[in-house]
Structure 1
Amino acid sequence: MWLGFFLVSPSSVTAAFARRATLSRSFSLLSDFKYEQTDPDVFYGALARDSVELVGDLYLGATGRSLDDVVVLDVGGGPGYFADAFSGAGARYVPVEPDPSEMHAAGLSVGSSVRGSGLALPIRDGSVDVCFSSNVAEHVARPWDMAEEMLRVTRPGGIAILSYTLWWGPFGGHETGPWHYLGGEYAARRYRRITGHEPKNRFGVSLFDVGAKDGLRWARRTPNGELLAAFPRYHPRWAWWMVRVPALRELLVSNLVLVLRKP
């Protein structure tokens, strides 16, 4: 039975992270967002620290364990901005990235990096404690196939954490927003006309219309995982109720986190 945005008591899985989910944290992350294109070290550095806190708190809530010596697979890990942050928390961090140019875009070197597609992870079944994906699903034409792959490689008792940007939210169009509200193709054409070049995130090629309803439907129905929690990643705790309201969540949740336990 669906019980709002939690399938288990929030105190057992999300309590630690809920204490971090303050209005000041939301404002801080929002202020860092403006540096995504101009100074990615600033933006991704802050996002990395926040991601470690998110994953660590959720893993603690689900298993009672810290990230010390825990294998964390980051699907779509990009150039490795998260590596130092996860290693600093004691985790054994393994990023997976399909694009070699993206892997080396920041000039970072992560010895555990794996080249591979999220749709066919080159990882054996049940081999990682945490499978994490941050802001990747909206760039995948078949995001729920990727989500199933994440569950496949997660060990029984481990968790998969899927965090993705909602299309109808304020950041759904990425650099083409807010014109994506008038259509993804229109927004991409307008961006090209204004800037003289294609957007990095091209609608229908590397950016797709993915909603909260889609993710919740998959998470409730998959036989390969138990949905533990669903909440807005960047909102303060008192605004998490928005996930319960079908139309509102598509517009205002912005980024949805789905947490599933592998049976």
Structure 2
Amino acid sequence: MVAFTLSHKTATGHPHTHLDQQLHTVFPGFSWGNIRPGHSGGSAGRLQWTTVPDALPLTRAAATLTRSLALLRSYPDEQNNPERFYRSLAEDTAGMISRLCADTGTGPLAGKTILDVGGGPGYFRQAFAAYGAGYLAVEPDQREITAAGLPGAADVRATGQDLPFADATFDVSVSSNVVEHTDRPWQMLDEMLRVTRPGGLVVVSYTVWLGPFGGHETGLLPHYIGGDYARRRYQKINGHPPKNVFGHSLFAVSAARGIAEAKKRAAAGHRLVGLFPRYHPGWAWWVTAVPLLREFAVSNLVIVMAAHDR
């Protein structure tokens, strides 16, 4: 297996840039001058190629270039027309979960109970109902619950890190774009695995910090200079702070960290089903396997796991 070794010393003769600083955010000790071929192993200073499971044929086949372009075109609607944006995203997500269930032999969504951690204003409820699934949302932020004025936006007000449910309660647990908004995302993943029935799917997707959308509404480029800079720039231009404030409600999460956390839980007995870029066509899923490149190219990482028997 090929890997890349990162020295924990700064290379001389290469001045720090804003991008260097952002790479340090996700890879402490990063230095451009000390990337060299290495061997796979357990060193914390190494970036290793990652095997991307290939056993998701229906999910991959549905990940077309047409779909990717449609999702990309909808990005400005998140601020300008959130209802249209989130309804479209909800329909895409429910379809993806349905195909993942089919790919993994866990049966159709119809009749399954779905837990949505960070369900927000409730756009996903209707999308899952169209598949005949039962749906329950958890959301800690009252402002998010009432943002769209939808009835029954969230069934339970709670945090993902402390889900108020018994073990093995749900058939499928889902979290869409929540990881980057909490300072304890992997505790949330543990809780989702706990409340999911043995063999049931846990699907977590999140925005990768060094991808173009890592800064969320602050723009495609400013966050590469720094999260605080992006916040200040946004506030100066718009006269108010962004909804997602770096260090408070927006955090720098790397693709490498998500992959490592998924593998850690797989080593503990859960099954790692798949890792892929959420918005890419299927033929571009390979970017998830390539260290460093994935931080810039993946944009949004999907982690699919199956809960183990207790």
Q: Same fold, TM exceeding 0.5?
A: yes
CA distance in 2, matches of 1:203, 1:234: 23
Q: Give 1:123 shift.
A: 1.5
Q: Aligned runs of 1:27-176 on 2, under 5 Å?
A: 27-110=69-152, 113-176=155-218
Q: Quote the sequence identity (%).
A: 50
Question: How far is 1:3 from its partner?
Answer: 6.4
Query: Which runs of 5 or more structure 2 residues have no equivalent in the other structure?
Result: 2-48
After superposition, what is the alpha-carbon deviation per residue over 1:77-119, rounded to whole angstroms, capped at 9, x for unaligned?
A: 0010011110110100111100122111101012761111011
Q: Is the 8 A contact 1:151 1:224 kept in 2?
A: no
Q: Give 1:224 deviation, angstroms.
A: 5.0
1:190 aligns with 2:233: yes
CA contact (8 A) 1:148 1:224 kept: no
Deviation at 1:38, TM superposition (A): 1.2
Change in 2 beyond 3 A, CA 1:3/1:210: closer
Q: 1:206 aligns with which of 249, 263, 286?
A: 249
TM-score between both structures, scaled by the size of structure 1:
0.95
Q: Output the CA distance in 2 between the equivalents of 1:28 and 1:111.
A: 26
How far does the alpha carbon of each residue in 1:147-180 deviate from its partner, in whole angstroms, 9 at most, with x for none?
1111011110101000000000000000113200
Question: How many residues in Structure 1 have an aligned counterpart in Structure 2?
Answer: 258
Shift of 1:182: 0.3
Output the CA distance in 2 between the equivalents of 1:100 and 1:236: 35
CA deviations on 1:177-236 (whole Å, 9 max, x unpaired) are: 320000101111111111111100000000000011001001001125211100000000
Alpha-carbon distance, 1:59 to partner: 1.3
Residue matched to 2:222 = 179
- SS state of the match for residue 171, structure 2? strand
> What residue in structure 1 maps to residue 52 of structure 2?
5
Is contact 2:186–2:261 with CA below 8 Å preserved after alignment? yes
Deviations 1:38-92 (A, max 9, x none): 1111101110110011111111212340001101100000010011110110100
| Structure with larger Rg | 2
Residue 111 and residue 196 in structure 1: after superposition, are their counterparts in 2 closer, same or farther (change >3 A)?
closer
CA RMSD, Structure 1 to Structure 2 (Å) = 1.4
What amino acid is aligned across from residue 230 of structure 1 in structure 2?
L
TM-score for the superposition, normalised by structure 2? 0.81
What secondary structure, in the 3-state scheme, does the structure 1 residue paired with 2:79 have?
Answer: coil
- The answer as to 2:283 corresponding to 1:241 is no
Q: How does 1:16-35 map to 2 (within 5 A)?
A: 16-35=58-77
| Structure 1: tracts of 5 or more residues without a match | none
Give the Cα–Cα distance (whole angstroms) in 2 for the partners of residues 202 and 111 of structure 1: 24
2:113, 2:52 → 1: CA distance? Answer: 27
